[in-house]
């Protein structure tokens, strides 16, 4: 996906209608950054109207080895170009779903209490794609009550860590504790479109440790038909055994 396409989708997700004032937020965060220790977590103030970074903390360079001036000067275009190409589609889908959920499910008066998390792979100064988990808390909303200015924390994890691309939203409850109100995975689904609805039914019963005979009784089909479906499923998914399939899906139930 090229930059112009990313920009078009990103602007659609975060389309806003006025110019907020955030100088006081920046002043306070710069003051805080002076006292924080070096670590593998950095933070920025993100501006989705201007596609810019209003502030970048000192740990950006410490975590990634990259020059913060390049990020400040080139904004989100520079940032997007360093996201792993295989993650861009899923990352944009995650952002879009989070925005849809916010506008449709979170009351206007509660949106300032929301916090959002997602992840992606990002190329550091050594051209290695490390994992980044981003948590963003909205600071300012536009006239349509859409979050557009955020305080984003980025935690950098080792490249060998295997992570599905996921997104979640949390909301402060009456006890001032965050509760997860939305979660989804946007990585490639194991059960792609080539798997039929009947095959999905069989897979779900296999996960419950049902035998071919039990599955046939449940679905009103012959055991021979169940076995044929099982062979077809393994062939389509390029998996060697039913046990392997069941093990994978028990560890990753969202793939269903």
pLDDT digits (tens, 9 = 90+) for 107-120: 988 998 999 999 99
Please check whether residues 171 and 201 belong to one and the same domain: no
Q: What is the pLDDT of residues 157-175, one digit of tens each?
A: 999 988 888 899 999 888 8
pLDDT the model gives residue 253: 60
What is the dihedral angle through the alpha carbons of 111, 113, 114, 117, rounded to the nearest 10 degrees? Answer: 150
Please check whether residues 116 and 225 belong to one and the same domain: no
166 part of a folded domain:
yes
Report the CATH number at residue 153: 3.30.450.20
191 part of a folded domain:
no
- 251 or 69, greater pLDDT: 69
Q: What is the pLDDT of residues 78-100, one digit of tens each?
A: 999 999 998 998 899 899 999 99
pLDDT the model gives residue 31: 85
pLDDT the model gives residue 91: 92
190 part of a folded domain:
no
Nearest to 145 by CA among 45, 21, 53, 16: 16
Please check whether residues 224 and 105 belong to one and the same domain: no
- The pTM score is 0.71
Nearest to 153 by CA among 71, 44, 46: 44
Please check whether residues 149 and 25 belong to one and the same domain: yes
178 part of a folded domain:
yes
pLDDT more than 90, % of the chain: 48
Q: In terms of residues, how long is the chain? A: 256
Please check whether residues 171 and 205 belong to one and the same domain: no
Sheet-wide strand order for 41-47: 52-56, 41-47, 147-157, 129-141, 114-123, 166-172, 178-185
Please check whether residues 107 and 223 belong to one and the same domain: no
Mean pLDDT lowest for which of 48-52, 54-58, 123-127? 48-52
Please check whether residues 145 and 218 belong to one and the same domain: no
100 part of a folded domain:
yes
Q: What is the pLDDT of residues 214-232, one digit of tens each?
A: 999 989 999 999 999 999 9
Please check whether residues 155 and 202 belong to one and the same domain: no
Q: What is the pLDDT of residues 53-80, one digit of tens each?
A: 989 999 999 999 999 999 999 999 999 9
Mean residue pLDDT across the chain:
86
d(CA 234, CA 220): 22
Three-class secondary structure of residue 77 per DSSP: helix
pLDDT the model gives residue 149: 87
Query: Is the pLDDT reported for residue 193 higher than 60?
Result: no
Residue 255: pLDDT band (50, 70, 90) is low
Residue 240 has phi, psi (to 5 degrees) of: -80, -25
The count of domains in the chain is 2
- Which of 161, 185, 209 finishes a domain? 185
Report the CATH number at residue 211: 1.10.10.10
Average pLDDT over residues 183-207: 77
10 part of a folded domain:
yes
Please check whether residues 171 and 215 belong to one and the same domain: no
Strand segments, DSSP code E, in 24-177 are 41-47, 52-56, 114-123, 129-141, 147-157, 166-172
Query: Is the pLDDT reported for residue 238 higher than 90?
Result: no
Range of the structural domain that residue 239 is part of? 197-255
Please check whether residues 210 and 160 belong to one and the same domain: no
Please check whether residues 171 and 242 belong to one and the same domain: no
């Amino acid at each position: 996906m090229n930059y112009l396409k990313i920009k078009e989708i990103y602007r659609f997700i975060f389309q806003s209608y006025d110019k907020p004032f955030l100088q006081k937020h920046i002043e306070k965060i710069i003051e805080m950054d002076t006292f924080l220790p070096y670590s593998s977590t950095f933070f920025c103030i993100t501006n989705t109207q201007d596609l810019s970074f209003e502030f970048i903390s000192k740990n950006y360079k410490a975590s990634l080895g990259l020059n913060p001036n390049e990020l400040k000067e080139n904004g989100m275009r520079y940032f997007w170009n360093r996201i792993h190409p295989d993650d861009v589609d899923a990352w944009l889908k995650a952002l879009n779903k989070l925005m849809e959920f916010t506008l449709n499910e979170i009351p206007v008066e509660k949106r300032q209490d929301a916090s959002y998390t997602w992840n992606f792979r990002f190329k550091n100064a050594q051209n290695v794609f490390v994992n980044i988990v981003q948590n963003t808390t909205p600071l300012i909303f536009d006239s349509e009550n859409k979050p557009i200015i955020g305080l984003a924390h980025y935690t950098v994890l080792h490249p060998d860590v295997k992570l599905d691309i996921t997104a979640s939203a949390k909301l402060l409850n009456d006890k001032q504790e965050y509760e997860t109100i939305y979660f989804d995975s946007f990585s490639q689904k194991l059960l792609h479109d080539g798997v039929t609805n009947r095959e999905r039914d069989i897979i779900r019963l296999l996960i419950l440790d049902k035998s071919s005979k039990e599955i046939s009784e449940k679905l009103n089909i012959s055991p021979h038909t169940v076995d044929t479906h099982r062979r077809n499923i393994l062939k389509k998914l390029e998996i060697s055994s039913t046990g392997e399939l069941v093990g994978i899906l028990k560890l990753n139930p969202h793939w269903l």
